[in-house]
Amino acid sequence: MPWSKIKPKHNEPNYHTDHELSGRRVTYTEAIREGLRQALSIDSNVFIMGQGVDDPSGMFGATQGLQEEFGGQRVFDTPLAETALTGVAVGAALGGMRPVYFHNRPDFLLLAMDQLVNHASKWHYMFGGAVPVPLVVWACIGRGWGSASQHSQALQGLFMHVPGLKLIMPSTCFDAKGLMLSAIKDNNPVIILEHRFNFSQKGMVPEEIYTVPIGKGAVRRYGKDVTIVAVSYLVFEAFKVALDLVSKGIEVEIIDPRTLRPLDEELILDSVSKTGRLVVVDTGWKTGGVTAEIAAMVAEKAFGFLKAPIARVACPDLPTPAAHALEEAFYIKKADIQKAVLETVHYTG
Amino acid sequence: MLRIREVQLRIESLYHLDEMKTPIHLCIGQEAIAVGVCAALQKDDYIVSNHRSHGHYLAKGGDLKAMIAELHCKKTGCAKGYGGSMHLIDVSVGHLGSSSIVGGGVPIGTGLSLSIKMKEGKQVCAIFFGDGAADEGVLYESINFAMLKKLPAIYILENNQWSVCSHVSTRQAGENIFHQASQDLLVTSKIDGNDVLKVYEAACQAVKRARNGLGPSFIECKTYRILGHAGCRSQDPKGYRGQKEVESWEKQCPVTNFAELLRKESILAEDQYIGIKQKISSEIDDAFAFAMESPLPTEEDLHKHLFRE
């Protein structure tokens, strides 16, 4: 089963970047692992737990070798008890530690919702700021290989709903490392949702320790005609659409929010105020999800700039099917994004 | 115990005035458990509490004024008016908070125990929960983890027999499964939770075991919730339990029975007892006066504290 080992297939495209592309080209897996290793090295309160973190192929290799290097006290396998272990992470955080709790799939986080939503997200506010809860929960969205309904869910919409949780969805190797280090450094509960497809890329990553600010998005491409806000690996798909549309004289601007909560509203609004057209693209469901929230936010705050209805491209409101043909029909593709962009650009009222 | 009882009787007697706009869960009849356990702890030991939180907070040394202010949702409360009665905390004495999700504090206390072990500390963590939490699967998950890692955790099951209006016999098939545990993994005991000396003795053994790195303990304290689930006496729902049952447990009152014992043993003279009661009463007067005089949080406070910088 080609689940846990994903061969990096391509280099990240030439996204616009505000930082110098220093460092060396590494895989997405290596970028995360390097961030974790550095966090473990500089702060003795950091520890990593999760079912399979000591498994050489666990977590797509992101935690590989860390137990050997830092010992079984700081990097350890856990029982499959997501509720209690999330509470254990909360308690350890209250006791001054900085836990990083790994899950192979976000689907399993549904078992941890009581501790994430009723406890981790509330402990600081509910007690008037008496004690912080610095913890990181990491999970990777599955896709393909007939994973079906319970091993492929993109649940960011659920987590985005909850005040008190920070929610990160990186799309580049640079951000995967820098946001991991920011998440561990943050004094609050942070969820990182990865996407399996991100692991097929390589990108430029500096060797040294650095952080990427939580709550700041990135412009991946500048354009004047239409804004695409794309989440996680869909930034890559949106970028391909943008390149294809150059020949049609359409200049697409691509925003990668990187953090869904807090959301960099300013970056999105600035872009929409320039282009007047918005397509929001997400790996999750459409109803009540990320595309709904971003579209509503823009309609609320930048209605006057809009020249066309906001388009949303997201998965249909269905559980994920297993059969390949059904998967193909279920997941959104480059063509879906392109179609939405063209409709938005050609909208005449 | 007397202090906790008197504080609660005062809360009960004033609750109908609606100055305390937060749901209260009184632990009248259960005071011996909080006191017996916390007497075995040091100041830097941790506790985690639940919705029936008053006794644990006071027994661990939590500030009375800040507690009464919190019951009035005032800015000077221990949670600055953000938590209310079910969410008491006093980090300065090792009280790390109270969850009103039944069973919710159990894994959190387990995690505090893990932090002690990882920092190679000598503290322990006592986790208070009721028989309702013993219905929850998270208890099994948490104690399994504590046994696996030999954590310095002490699980205190306060079996007061009633979860709102549901008796334990309608919710649990028999004796708690953890009493079957291998005693090297988990030392378990089942004691009279209304006898403060028995609670203290069991807690001391559990603390010793935890400090020696031998692992967790599980103490089931049989007790009784004299008042209803929430609110004051006049708000108790009627008809779900017999008056005789309540009366028989009132006779087993942990506070009066212990005072009686102290008198019998000539440790406590009547004038001393009256003196203590008066001192407590004036301390409670001060706490309520402080709460009443304290300011309420304002609109400007709404967005504070969601995140720690």
Same-domain check for residues A194 and A140: yes
H/E segment holding residue B258: helix B254-264
Does some domain include residue A266?
A: yes
Using the predicted structure, report yes or no on whether residue A6 has a pLDDT greater than 80: no
User: According to the model, what pLDDT value does residue A3 have?
Assistant: 55
Query: How does DSSP assign B51-70, residue by residue?
Result: SS-HHHHHHTT--HHHHHHH
Does some domain include residue A212?
A: no
Report the candidate in A265, A257, A266 with the shortest Cα–Cα distance to residue A234: A257
A50 contacts in B (CB within 8 Å)?
none
Query: What are the distances in angstroms from CA A316 to CA A224, A332, B293?
Result: 29, 9, 56
Report the candidate in B209, B82, B234, B222 with the shortest Cα–Cα distance to residue B162: B222
Query: How many CB atoms neighbour CB B198 within 10 A?
Result: 17
Average predicted confidence (pLDDT) for chain A = 95
Order of strands, sheet of A311-315, starting from the edge strand that comes earlier in the sequence: A218-221, A252-256, A226-230, A278-285, A311-315
Pairwise CB contact (< 8 Å): B87 & A114:
no
Residue A166 near residue A183 (C-beta atoms within 8 A): yes
**B residues 47..66 contacting A (CB < 8 A):** 48
Say which CATH number the domain at A148 has.
3.40.50.970
A74 contacts in B (CB within 8 Å)?
118
Pairwise CB contact (< 8 Å): A131 & B309:
no
Query: How many CB atoms neighbour CB B277 within 10 A?
Result: 14
Query: What are the distances in angstroms from CA A344 to CA A246, A310, A348?
Result: 16, 7, 9
**Which one of A174, A205, A236 terminates a domain?**
A205
All structural domains of chain B, each given as residue ranges with its CATH number in brackets, are 2-294 (3.40.50.970)
Same-domain check for residues A172 and A296: no
pLDDT digits (tens, 9 = 90+) for B173-195: 999 999 999 999 999 999 999 99
In single-letter form, the type of residue at position A245 comes to L
Does some domain include residue A291?
A: yes
Same-domain check for residues A169 and A267: no
Report the candidate in B116, B117, B178 with the shortest Cα–Cα distance to residue B143: B178
Active centre residues of A (catalytic): 151
Does some domain include residue A231?
A: yes
pLDDT digits (tens, 9 = 90+) for A127-138: 999 999 999 999
User: According to the model, what pLDDT value does residue A4 have?
Assistant: 56
CA distance A200 to B106: 40
Number of structural domains (chain A) is 2
Pairwise CB contact (< 8 Å): B115 & A91:
yes
Give the orientation angle of helix B254-264 with respect to helix B270-293, to 10 degrees: 140
Same-domain check for residues A227 and A198: no
Pairwise CB contact (< 8 Å): B114 & A127:
no
Does some domain include residue A334?
A: yes
In single-letter form, the type of residue at position A183 comes to A
CA distance B72 to B77: 8
Pairwise CB contact (< 8 Å): B87 & A163:
no
Same-domain check for residues A191 and A60: yes
Does some domain include residue A16?
A: no
**Which one of A178, A205, A232 terminates a domain?**
A205
Same-domain check for residues A167 and A235: no
A83 contacts in B (CB within 8 Å)?
107, 137-138, 141
Q: What is the mean pLDDT of the segment spanning A224-252? A: 97
Same-domain check for residues A103 and A145: yes
Same-domain check for residues A34 and A169: yes
Cβ of residue A73 closer than 8 Å to a chain B Cβ: yes
User: According to the model, what pLDDT value does residue B162 have?
Assistant: 93
User: According to the model, what pLDDT value does residue A22 have?
Assistant: 84
Size of interface A-B (CB pairs under 8 A): 152
Say which CATH number the domain at A276 has.
3.40.50.920
Domain that holds residue A63: 22-205
Query: Residue B91 is nearest to which of A81, A131, A166, comparing CB atoms?
Result: A131
Query: Residue A73 is nearest to which of B118, B306, B308, comparing CB atoms?
Result: B118
Strands A166-168 and A189-195: parallel
Using the predicted structure, report yes or no on whether residue A202 has a pLDDT greater than 90: yes
Using the predicted structure, report yes or no on whether residue A8 has a pLDDT greater than 70: yes
Same-domain check for residues A98 and A166: yes
Same-domain check for residues A334 and A232: yes
Using the predicted structure, report yes or no on whether residue A19 has a pLDDT greater than 90: no
Low-confidence ranges of chain B (pLDDT < 50): none
Strands A278-285 and A259-261: unpaired
Same-domain check for residues A76 and A187: yes
Query: Residue A97 is nearest to which of B87, B115, B144, comparing CB atoms?
Result: B115
User: According to the model, what pLDDT value does residue B52 have?
Assistant: 95
Does some domain include residue A7?
A: no
Report the candidate in B24, B41, B133 with the shortest Cα–Cα distance to residue B87: B24
Same-domain check for residues A81 and A197: yes
Pairwise CB contact (< 8 Å): A79 & B81:
no
Q: What is the mean pLDDT of the segment spanning A333-347? A: 97
User: According to the model, what pLDDT value does residue A2 have?
Assistant: 53
Q: Note the residue count of chain B.
A: 309
**Which one of A205, A233, A261 terminates a domain?**
A205
B82 contacts in A (CB within 8 Å)?
125-128
Does some domain include residue A15?
A: no
Confidence of residue A5 (pLDDT cuts 50, 70, 90): low
Cβ of residue A131 closer than 8 Å to a chain B Cβ: yes
Grouping H, G, I as helix, E, B as strand and the rest as coil, residue A347 is coil
ipTM given for this complex: 0.96
CA distance B206 to B36: 12
Q: What is the mean pLDDT of the segment spanning A202-226? A: 97
Pairwise CB contact (< 8 Å): B112 & A128:
no
CA distance B100 to B50: 5
Q: What is the mean pLDDT of the segment spanning A80-107? A: 97
User: According to the model, what pLDDT value does residue B195 have?
Assistant: 98
